[in-house]
Amino acid sequence: MHRFANPTRFLNSARVVVPWSAAATAVLFALGLYLALVASPADYQQGEAVRIMYIHVPSAWLSLFVYTSMAIAAAIGLVWKHPLADLFAKAAAPLGAGFTALCLVTGSLWGAPMWGTWWVWDARLTSVLILFFLYLGYMALVTAFDDPTRGTRAGNILLLVGVVNVPIIKFSVDWWNTLHQPASVSKLGTPSIDPSMLAPLGVMSVAFTAYFVTLVLLRLRSEIIARKIQMTRIAMSQA
């Protein structure tokens, strides 16, 4: 992976990937939304409200995936000083925060008719809210110092400390008694969700992932350029 540490080589690779990932995002979202909103049936208990699942579940998965990838990048940046690892974490943070916010909002919209309340302080919802604050805390921390190196290091430490929240979110419905339903797709054995709903959910999940890949590559390209400008200004001010 060190061959991609060169910003020029990485930008050349990203320039090839972005058009394909953007096209895949458009096609998969069009197909996924058709399957989710038109082709898939309403739930026999939840009715049409179940369609919120096709946005809520992928955004929840991506919120965890993005934070985990940021924590891995933070470890790489701290240990191996990979020049792009820190920039990846910074580029991915707003996207992860957006997915987490979408997860919280759609969860409330889904929970209101199902649970009779918009919000409960159970383990799953509270731990996801903490994840959202971790994203916000990281974004605030990396820009809180005049020296970008100090801010990046502080942000990386926060990411590594906060990663303990990821398994808490994942297993909270198994460890504690909560209103949130247990795992129905990623559980051991056969998923309990019907194939007519599982297929559009899978397509939407891949669409969300392609969307993330496209945006994070675009943002990472901007971060590389911004970092070069920032380091040039610092060097000129110290000269």
38-59 residue pLDDT tens: 999 998 888 898 999 999 999 9
Domain span holding position 72: 50-238
CA count, 13 A, side-chain hemisphere, 156: 21
Q: Determine the Cα–Cα distance for residues 131 and 238; give it in Å rounded to an integer.
A: 38
- Tell me, letter by letter, the H, E, C secondary structure of 109-130: HHHHHHHCCCCCCCHHHHHHHH
In a domain, 230, yes or no: yes
Whether 45 is covered by a domain: the verdict is no
Residue 105 domain-assigned?
A: yes
- Per-residue tokens: 123: 């383990």
Q: How many CA atoms lie within 13 A of 213 on its CB side?
A: 20
Task: Give yes or no for a contact between 146 and 91, defined as CB atoms under 8 angstroms apart.
Answer: no
Q: Per the domain annotation, does 174 fall within a domain? A: yes
Closest among 83, 70, 77 to 131, alpha carbons compared? 70
Residue whose tokens read 């009715």: 47
pTM, two decimal places: 0.91
pLDDT value at 188 more than 60: no
Give the up-direction half-sphere exposure of residue 134: CA atoms within 13 A in the CB hemisphere. 27
Residue 27 lies in a domain: no
Q: Does residue 7 lie within any of the structural domains?
A: no
User: What span, in angstroms and rounded, lies between the C-alpha atoms of 235 and 70?
Assistant: 28
The answer to the question of residue 89 being in a domain is yes
Number of domains in the chain: 1
Q: What confidence tens digit (pLDDT) does each residue in 92-108 have?
A: 999 999 999 999 999 99
Lowest-pLDDT choice from 57-71, 93-107, 154-168, 219-233: 219-233
In a domain, 8, yes or no: no
